[in-house]
Amino acid sequence: MKTIAILIMTLLATGIMTINSFAINNTMKIRIAIGNYSDETIIRFVDGSSIDFDGDYDAWKLFSSNPSVPNIFSRDSAGGALSIYALPTFSSSVTKNIFLKIGVATTYSISSEEIGAFDSGVEIMMKDIVTGTLYNLRTMSTQTIPLPVINESDSARFQIFSSFPASIKTNNSSCNDCPDGNASITKNGEVNWHYTVIDSIGNNIAEGISESPAQKINGLTAGHYSVSITSNFPATENNLFSIKSNSVVLGATFLNFNATPEGQSISLQWSTGVESNSDYFTIERSTDEITFESVETINAAGESTITRNYFSSDEHPYSGISYYRIKLTDKNGALSYSKIEAVNYENSDLISVYPNPVSSQLNISICNNKNSEVTIIIRDMTGREFFSEKITPVSDHENHSIAVASNFPSGIYMLNEILKEKSYVQKIIINE
Q: How confident is the model at residue 62 (pLDDT cuts 50, 70, 90)?
A: very high
Average of per-residue pLDDT across 314-330: 84
Task: Say whether 351-430 and 167-243 share the same fold.
Answer: yes
State yes or no: pLDDT of 365 exceeds 90. no
Cβ atoms of 28 and 117 closer than 8 Å = no
Q: Note the CATH number of domain 252-345.
A: 2.60.40.10
Higher pLDDT, 356 or 21: 356
Mean pLDDT of 92-102: 94
**Average per-residue pLDDT in the chain?**
84
Q: Which helix (H) or strand (E) holds 4?
A: helix 2-14
pLDDT computed for residue 202 by the predictor:
78
Average pLDDT over residues 3-15: 44
Nearest to 279 by CA among 255, 252, 259: 252
Residues paired with residue 126 on neighbouring β-strands, in sequence order: 135, 160
Residue 20 pLDDT greater than 50, yes or no = no
Name the percent of the chain lying above pLDDT 90. Answer: 35
Tens of pLDDT, residue by residue over 209-227, are 999 999 999 999 888 888 9
User: What is residue 396's predicted lDDT score, i.e. its pLDDT?
Assistant: 67
User: Which amino acid is located at 17 in the chain?
Assistant: M
Task: Indicate if the pLDDT at residue 279 is higher than 60.
Answer: yes
CB 80 within 8 A of CB 53: yes
Q: What pLDDT score does 7 carry?
A: 45
Query: What mean pLDDT is predicted for residues 168-183?
Result: 85
Residues pairing with 321 in the sheet = 344
CA distance 121 to 214: 18
Mean pLDDT of the 176-194 span? 88
Mean pLDDT of 46-54: 90
187 vs 237: CA distance, rounded Å:
11
Question: What does pTM read for this prediction?
Answer: 0.53
* pLDDT(110) > 60: yes
CB atoms within 10 A of CB 299: 10
Mean pLDDT value of segment 110-117: 92
Per-residue pLDDT, averaged over 403-417, amounts to: 83
> Does residue 360 register a pLDDT over 80?
yes
Let me know: does 46 contact 87? Beta carbons within 8 Å: yes
Mean pLDDT of 395-420: 80
**pLDDT for the residue 10:** 47
From 138, 163, 147, 157, select the one nearest 29 (Cα to Cα): 138
Give mean pLDDT, residues 392-405: 80
pLDDT value at 18 more than 70: no
Find, among 403, 344, 343, the residue nearest to 378 by Cα: 403
pLDDT for the residue 170: 92
Burial of residue 114 (CB within 10 Å: 0-12, 13-18, 19+) is: middle
pLDDT at 318: 76
- Quickly name the fold that domain 167-243 has: Immunoglobulin-like (2.60.40)
* Multiple choice CATH, 351-430, 3.30.30.60, 2.40.110.10, 2.60.40.3080, 3.10.105.10: 2.60.40.3080
Please give the pLDDT value at position 155. 96
> Per-residue confidence at 367, pLDDT binned at 50, 70, 90?
low
Residue 182 has pLDDT above 70, yes or no: yes
Q: What is the mean pLDDT of residues 385-414?
A: 83
Q: What is the mean pLDDT of residues 247-275?
A: 76
Per-residue pLDDT averaged across 276-280, rounded?
A: 86
Task: Give the angle 159-15-102 at the CA atoms, nearest 5°.
Answer: 35
